[in-house]
C-alpha cells in the first residue's frame, strides 16, 4: 500500500505518506509559548510521516488568535525546542508553519497594534478576542517600502524555527491570511508593483518564499496554498483570474526546488491542482478541505492514482494520534469532537486514546 511507503520531500525523509495538517488549536496561552500540552500533543502524533505545526506567528502584529503560539521570543523558541526534541525522540519529522495573520486579527489580540494588509479593507465579520467577540477593524495598508521588512520577519522566524530544532518550515499562503490576501483581487486593490495584475499580486509571495529558501535551504521549505477557497473574505471566484494568479506564483517559485507544494482544495485530482503540480515540478501534498473528513480510502486513492505524493489529514489526526497504525491495519477510529477543537486544556487535545499494543 503506497500510502504507507516511505517518500522524500526535499531534505525530509518521511516513513509514510500521511501528514498531520496544520491545525489551529490555541493552547499556547497569552505569551504564545509552547507548553507541556503542546509537547505531549505533538509527541503523540510522531508516527505520522510528517507533522506540520499549527500556524505560528513571526511577529507581534501577525498574531491572528489568542492562544496561538509564536516563534519570535527566546521563550517561544525554547518552548518549541521541547516540542521538536519530543517528536524526534519518537522518530518523527516536524516542520513549522509560518503564518502572518494579516488583517485576520484585532488590536485586542496584538497588544493595541493596528492590523496590516495589502489594502485597507476590513473582513465583514467578527473575531474572538480576549475581551469577547468584536468586529474586524479596518487594517492599515502596508506601504511598498515596508514589505521587505515583513519578509525579513518571516525569514527570521524560519531561522528561529531551525534554531528550535525543526526539520523545515511551511510558508502559509492560504486560508485568507496575509500572503493569501495579496493574491486575491478582492482583498488586494493596490495600484503599485504588488497589485493589479496576477503577476503583481503574486510578487510578494514569491519574494518571501525565495528569501526563506535562501535563508534555510529550499529543500527544507514548503508552501501551502488554497486557490478558490473563498475564506475570510479572500475571494477568488473568477476561474481564469485565479488560474493566472496561481500560475504566476508557482512559476515564480518553481525554480527554487522547494521541498513540497501543499494545496488545500475540494478537488485535488482536478485540473487546477494537477496543472499547478506540473508547473511546480516537485512533490505535491494535498488536503481535500474542510467540508468532510478525509477517509482512509480517499487518502489511499490519491497516492495510488498518483494525484499526490503525500496527503495532509486534519480532524482524523486530532482524534487518532496513531492514525497511521489504524489506517494501515484498517482498525476502528476515534470520532473527533469539534466542541474541543479550540480551548486551553488537554480535553480533546491530548486525551484521545491510542490503540492497545
Instruction: Spell out the per-residue pLDDT of the chain, length 357, in tens.
Output: 899 999 999 999 999 999 999 999 999 999 999 999 999 999 999 999 999 999 999 999 999 999 999 999 999 999 999 999 999 999 999 999 999 999 999 999 999 999 999 999 999 999 999 999 999 999 999 999 999 999 999 999 999 999 999 999 999 999 999 999 999 999 999 999 999 999 999 999 999 999 999 999 999 999 999 999 999 999 999 999 999 999 999 999 999 999 999 999 999 999 999 999 999 999 999 998 766 789 999 999 999 999 999 999 999 999 999 999 999 999 999 999 999 999 999 999 999 999 976
Q: Report pLDDT for 1.
A: 82
The cell for 9 is 520531500
pTM: 0.98
Task: Give the SS3 label for residue 245.
Answer: helix
Q: Which residues pair with 128 in a beta bridge?
A: 133
**Largest Cα span, the chain:** 61
Q: Report pLDDT for 336.
A: 95
Q: Residue 247 phi/psi, 5° resolution?
A: -60, -45
Count of Cβ atoms closer than 10 Å to residue 14 Cβ = 20
* Residues annotated as catalytic (active site), given as ranges: 177
The cell for 226 is 488554497
Q: Report pLDDT for 357.
A: 61
Count of Cβ atoms closer than 10 Å to residue 124 Cβ = 9
| Nearest-10 Cα torsion for 304, 87, 346, 70 | -100
Q: Report pLDDT for 290.
A: 67
Burial class of residue 73 in the structure, from the number of CB atoms within 10 Å of its CB (0-12 exposed, 13-18 middle, 19+ buried):
middle
Amino acid at each position: 500500500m503506497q500510502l504507507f511507503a516511505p517518500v522524500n520531500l526535499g531534505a525530509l525523509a518521511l516513513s509514510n505518506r500521511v501528514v498531520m495538517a496544520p491545525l489551529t488549536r490555541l493552547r499556547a496561552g497569552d505569551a504564545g509559548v509552547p507548553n507541556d500540552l503542546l509537547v505531549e500533543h505533538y509527541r503523540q502524533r510522531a508516527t505520522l510521516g510528517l507533522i506540520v505545526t499549527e500556524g505560528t506567528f513571526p511577529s507581534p502584529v501577525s498574531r491572528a488568535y489568542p492562544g496561538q503560539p509564536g516563534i519570535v521570543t527566546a521563550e517561544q523558541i525554547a518552548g518549541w525546542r521541547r516540542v521538536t526534541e519530543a517528536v524526534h525522540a519518537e522518530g518523527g519529522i516536524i516542520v513549522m508553519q509560518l503564518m502572518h495573520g494579516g488583517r485576520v486579527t484585532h488590536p485586542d489580540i496584538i497588544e493595541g497594534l493596528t492590523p496590516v494588509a495589502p489594502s485597507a479593507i476590513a473582513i465583514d465579520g467578527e473575531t474572538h478576542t480576549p475581551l469577547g467577540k468584536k468586529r474586524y477593524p479596518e487594517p492599515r495598508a502596508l506601504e511598498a517600502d515596508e514589505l521587505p521588512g515583513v519578509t525579513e520577519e518571516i525569514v527570521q522566524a524560519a531561522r528561529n524555527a531551525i534554531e528550535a530544532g525543526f526539520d523545515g518550515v511551511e510558508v502559509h499562503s492560504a486560508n485568507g491570511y496575509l500572503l493569501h490576501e495579496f493574491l486575491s483581487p478582492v482583498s488586494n486593490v493596490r495600484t503599485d508593483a504588488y497589485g493589479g495584475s496576477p503577476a503583481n499580486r503574486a510578487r510578494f509571495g514569491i519574494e518571501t518564499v525565495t528569501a526563506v529558501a535562501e535563508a534555510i535551504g529550499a529543500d527544507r521549505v514548503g508552501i501551502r496554498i488554497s486557490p478558490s477557497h473563498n475564506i475570510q473574505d479572500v475571494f477568488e471566484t473568477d476561474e481564469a483570474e485565479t488560474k493566472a494568479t496561481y500560475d504566476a506564483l508557482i512559476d515564480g517559485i518553481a525554480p527554487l526546488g522547494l521541498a513540497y507544494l501543499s494545496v488545500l482544495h475540494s478537488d485535488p485530482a482536478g485540473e487546477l491542482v494537477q496543472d499547478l503540480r506540473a508547473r511546480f515540478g516537485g512533490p505535491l501534498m494535498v488536503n481535500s478541505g474542510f467540508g468532510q473528513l478525509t477517509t482512509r480510502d480517499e487518502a489511499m486513492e490519491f497516492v495510488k492514482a498518483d494525484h499526490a505524493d503525500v496527503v495532509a489529514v486534519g480532524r482524523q489526526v486530532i482524534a487518532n494520534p496513531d492514525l497511521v497504525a489504524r489506517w494501515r491495519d484498517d482498525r476502528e477510529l476515534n470520532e473527533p469532537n469539534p466542541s474541543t477543537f479550540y480551548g486551553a486544556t488537554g480535553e480533546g487535545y491530548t486525551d484521545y486514546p491510542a490503540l492497545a499494543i
